[in-house]
């Protein structure tokens, strides 16, 4: 892949200056097909047209300008040719001029629009189609606790409007997922977006205001084709609109604490709140913000045909138990990948562990907050059922729920094998809830057999009471206490019983 500076140069020369693929390829010393590929991959900033009067072209100039402006939002291969414009003018607009007149006007107009850079001299707040981005935080009732969660705000200074979404973190994946989700809902991309120096986007601030961007953010910008700006360090006022909008969103929509049971479902309700808020007059322009937002919308770039994959990939070596660490959180793979390298696909809400051939080994919900480890049991249960006393994996018993950890440690080896096979058969979605209830129920009369646990499990699953049918009256003889497992042998040899 070419450097970002080269790609930017190719896009500028081909899409904005109208240079040929061959000319640009000679300058950057790459194949013309490569130039064509990158030139057509991204859009660029559109320019506002200058209007001129001409007796022949006057009536159709606004139409041609509109077509050129629309084409500037698209890949070069999708631009109308001057000939095609001429044909459409004759067919649909009763144009009486010549093809040459249209061709000359189109050529001159494209160059004029490319050189017209009025936006550079205007503050961002005065330019339709531009946006600002920042995170804020607010308290939420989530998972039975009140916790602070970040919310991402995309604000539009020209129309004083916004969109926002709530996320579990301010990491790169959440930032890009939020922006991608907003672009998709909006149906377009702001042509210029101003950011603070967010760590998910900026890896390092260099001298003379240059930034070293994170790889994922760099690819995100190239994919959507918008122009980015960053505030100077310590100059938060340069994105004052979005900072004010963060406070506005928090005070008007997120306080007191909102209750969240499903974060994705909660976020779907936020689009309508943002749209309803536009039905009020602009604080200065005294017209409805919804009308100004339409002007914003008319200036957006066209969405790419495909969404950006808001993920990053890492190669990580698993430990001796087959666990990997991501952001100080532990995720299980499979015993067969212990001390092996695996590929990890990381999104804002999912950790997918892959083989070198990109076959899925296991998927985890991404962990946030105080929970430190995610365990998918199935790959481990198969091994433990065959080798329950394998020293290498003995500490895995401590990863089970406490009820099962205690039970397994009190079992003989054959009982452990049977219990682990049962867990492997009955455990669904790593949810031990019903299995824990079945174990507790079957343990009321002492150490249970696997068949008793199984019977109680299906009784609970089917909401029946057949587990109550076992007689417990006076006719049942008293069974003496028994010691389970092999611990009594250890005690025997430790106390010198072998000598006796």
pLDDT tens sequence across 155-169:
999 999 999 999 999
Strand partners, 162: 155
Q: Is residue 173 part of a domain?
A: yes
**Is the predicted pLDDT of residue 303 greater than 90, yes or no?**
yes
In this prediction, residue 173 carries a pLDDT of 96
Listed as own residue / partner, the contacts of 288-294 with beta carbons closer than 8 Å and 24 or more positions apart are 289/159, 289/160, 289/161, 292/128, 292/158, 292/159, 292/160, 292/161, 293/156, 293/159, 293/161
- Please give the mean pLDDT across all residues of the chain: 84
Q: Are strands 130-142 and 192-195 parallel, antiparallel or unpaired?
A: parallel
Are 313 and 343 within 8 A, CB to CB?
yes
- The vertex-32 CA angle with 31 and 38, nearest 5°, equals 95
Q: Which residue has the higher pLDDT, 490 or 280?
A: 280
Q: Is residue 305 part of a domain?
A: no
In this prediction, residue 495 carries a pLDDT of 55
Are 10 and 45 in a shared domain? yes
Q: Is residue 389 part of a domain?
A: no
Which pTM does this prediction carry? 0.67
Q: What is the mean pLDDT of residues 193-217?
A: 85
In this prediction, residue 363 carries a pLDDT of 95
Among the residue ranges 78-87, 425-434, 485-494, the one predicted with the least confidence is 485-494
Q: What is the mean pLDDT of residues 6-32?
A: 84
Are 146 and 108 in a shared domain? no
Domain that holds residue 343: 312-376
Query: What is the 3 state secondary structure string of the chain?
Result: CCCHHHHHHHHHHHHHCCCCHHHHHHHHCCCHHHHHHHHCCCCCCCCCCCCCCCCCCCCCHHHHHHHHHHHHCCCHHHCCCHHHHHHHHHHHHCCCCCHHHHHHHHHHHHHHHHHCCHHHHCCHHHCCCEEEEEEEEEEEEECCEEEEEEEEEEEECCCCEEEEEECCCCCHHHHHHHHHHHHHHHCCECCEEEECCCCCCEEEECHHHCEEECHHHHHHHHHHCCEEEECCCCCHHHHHHHHHHHHHHHHHHCCCCEEECCHHHHHHCHHHHHHHHCCCECCCCCCEHHHHHHHHHHCCECCCCCCCCCCEEEEEECCCCCEEEECCEEEECCHHHCCCEEEEEECCCEEEEECCCCCEEEEEECCCCCCCEECCCHHHHHHHHHCCCCHHHHHHHHHCCHHHHHHHHCCCHHHHHHHHHHHHHHCECCECHHHHHHHHHHCCCCCCCHHHHHHHHHHHHCCCCHHHHCCCCCCCCCCCCCCCCCHHHHHHHHCCCCCC
Strand partners, 261: none
pLDDT tens sequence across 376-405:
988 888 778 888 776 556 667 778 888 998
Are 112 and 128 in a shared domain? no
In this prediction, residue 448 carries a pLDDT of 93
Q: Which of 127, 111, 126 is nearest to 72 (CA)?
A: 111
Are 367 and 427 in a shared domain? no
- pLDDT classification of 46: cutoffs 50, 70, 90: very low
Are 138 and 194 in a shared domain? yes
In this prediction, residue 119 carries a pLDDT of 44
| Length, in residues, of the chain | 500
Q: Is residue 382 part of a domain?
A: no
Q: In CATH, what number is assigned to the domain containing residue 316? A: 2.30.30
In this prediction, residue 353 carries a pLDDT of 96
Strand partners, 332: 323
- The vertex-324 CA angle with 318 and 330, nearest 5°, equals 150
Strand partners, 325: 330
Strand partners, 166: 151
In this prediction, residue 196 carries a pLDDT of 86
**Is the predicted pLDDT of residue 474 greater than 60, yes or no?**
no
In this prediction, residue 435 carries a pLDDT of 93
pLDDT tens sequence across 314-339:
999 999 889 999 999 999 999 889 99
Q: Which residue has the higher pLDDT, 50 or 109?
A: 109
Residue whose tokens read 């699953």:
461
Among the residue ranges 72-76, 94-98, 130-134, the one predicted with the least confidence is 72-76
**Is the predicted pLDDT of residue 129 greater than 50, yes or no?**
yes
In this prediction, residue 450 carries a pLDDT of 92
Are 282 and 136 in a shared domain? yes
Examine the fold and report which residue of 118, 152, 172 is the final residue of a domain before the chain moves on: 118
**Is the predicted pLDDT of residue 87 greater than 60, yes or no?**
yes
CA dihedral 392, 394, 400, 403 (to 10 degrees): 180
Q: What is the mean pLDDT of residues 343-362?
A: 94
Are 294 and 352 in a shared domain? no
Number of domains in the chain: 4
Cβ-Cβ contacts under 8 Å for 251 (sequence gap 6 or more): none
Among the residue ranges 102-111, 160-169, 302-311, 448-457, the one predicted with the least confidence is 102-111
Are 289 and 342 in a shared domain? no
pLDDT tens sequence across 260-292:
999 999 999 999 999 999 999 998 898 999 999
The CA distance from 329 to 327, in Å, is 5
Q: Which residue has the higher pLDDT, 43 or 14?
A: 14
**Is the predicted pLDDT of residue 226 greater than 70, yes or no?**
yes
In this prediction, residue 477 carries a pLDDT of 54
Q: Is residue 387 part of a domain?
A: no
In this prediction, residue 120 carries a pLDDT of 44
Are 327 and 411 in a shared domain? no
Among the residue ranges 9-18, 27-36, 250-259, the one predicted with the least confidence is 9-18
Q: Which residue has the higher pLDDT, 52 or 343?
A: 343
Are 353 and 374 within 8 A, CB to CB?
no
In this prediction, residue 361 carries a pLDDT of 94
Examine the fold and report which residue of 87, 118, 149 is the final residue of a domain before the chain moves on: 118
Are 54 and 148 in a shared domain? no
Q: Is residue 52 part of a domain?
A: yes
Q: Is residue 381 part of a domain?
A: no
pLDDT tens sequence across 47-85:
444 555 567 788 889 899 889 888 877 778 788 898 999
Are 224 and 243 in a shared domain? yes
Are 82 and 57 within 8 A, CB to CB?
no
Are 184 and 268 in a shared domain? yes
In this prediction, residue 387 carries a pLDDT of 80
**Is the predicted pLDDT of residue 144 greater than 70, yes or no?**
yes
Q: In CATH, what number is assigned to the domain containing residue 241? A: 3.30.420.10
Are 453 and 439 within 8 A, CB to CB?
yes
Examine the fold and report which residue of 118, 150, 178 is the final residue of a domain before the chain moves on: 118
Q: Is residue 498 part of a domain?
A: no
């Amino acid at each position: 892949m070419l450097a970002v500076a080269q790609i930017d140069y190719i896009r500028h020369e081909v899409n904005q200056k109208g240079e040929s693929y061959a000319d640009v390829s000679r300058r950057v010393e790459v194949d013309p097909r490569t130039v064509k590929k990158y030139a057509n991959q991204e859009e660029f900033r559109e320019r506002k047209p200058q209007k001129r009067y001409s007796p022949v072209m006057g009536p159709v100039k606004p139409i041609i300008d509109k077509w050129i402006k629309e084409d500037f939002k698209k890949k070069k291969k999708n631009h109308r040719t001057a000939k095609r414009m001429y044909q459409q003018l004759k067919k649909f607009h009763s144009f009486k001029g010549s093809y040459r007149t249209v061709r000359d006007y189109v050529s001159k107009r494209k160059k004029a629009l490319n050189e017209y850079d009025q936006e550079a001299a205007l503050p961002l707040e005065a330019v339709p189609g531009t946006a600002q981005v920042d995170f804020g935080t607010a308290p939420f009732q989530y998972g039975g606790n009140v916790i602070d969660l970040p919310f991402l705000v995309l604000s539009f200074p020209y129309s004083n409007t916004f969109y926002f979404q709530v996320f579990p973190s301010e990491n790169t994946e959440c930032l890009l997922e939020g922006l991608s989700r907003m672009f998709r809902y909006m149906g377009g991309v702001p042509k210029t977006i101003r950011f603070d120096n967010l760590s998910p986007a900026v890896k390092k601030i260099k001298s003379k205001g240059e930034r070293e961007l994170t790889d994922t953010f760099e690819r995100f910008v190239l994919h959507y084709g918008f122009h980015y700006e960053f505030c100077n360090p310590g100059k938060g006022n340069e994105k004052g609109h979005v900072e004010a909008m963060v406070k506005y969103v928090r005070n008007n929509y997120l306080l007191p604490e909102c209750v969240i049971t499903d974060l994705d479902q909660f976020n779907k309700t936020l689009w309508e709140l943002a749209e309803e808020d536009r039905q009020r007059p602009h604080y200065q322009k005294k017209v409805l913000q919804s009308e100004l937002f339409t002007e914003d919308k008319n200036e957006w770039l066209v969405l790419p045909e495909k969404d950006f994959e808001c993920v990053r990939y890492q190669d990580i070596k698993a430990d001796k138990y087959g666990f990997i660490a991501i952001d100080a959180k532990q995720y299980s793979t499979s015993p067969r990948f212990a001390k092996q390298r695996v590929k990890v696909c990381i999104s804002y809400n999912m950790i997918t562990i892959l083989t070198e051939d990109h076959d899925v080994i296991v998927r985890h919900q991404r962990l946030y907050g105080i929970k430190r480890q995610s365990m998918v049991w199935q790959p481990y249960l198969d091994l433990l059922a065959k080798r329950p006393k394998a020293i290498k994996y003995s500490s895995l018993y401590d990863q089970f729920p406490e009820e099962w950890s205690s039970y397994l440690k009190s079992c003989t080896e054959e009982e452990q094998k049977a219990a682990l096979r049962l867990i492997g058969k009955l455990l669904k979605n790593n949810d031990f809830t019903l299995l824990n209830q079945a174990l507790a129920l079957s343990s009321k009369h002492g150490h249970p057999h696997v068949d008793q646990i199984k019977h109680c499990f299906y009784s609970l699953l089917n909401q029946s009471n057949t587990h109550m049918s076992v007689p417990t009256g006076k006719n049942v003889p008293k069974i003496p206490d028994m010691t389970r497992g092999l611990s009594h042998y250890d005690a025997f040899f430790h106390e010198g019983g072998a000598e006796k």
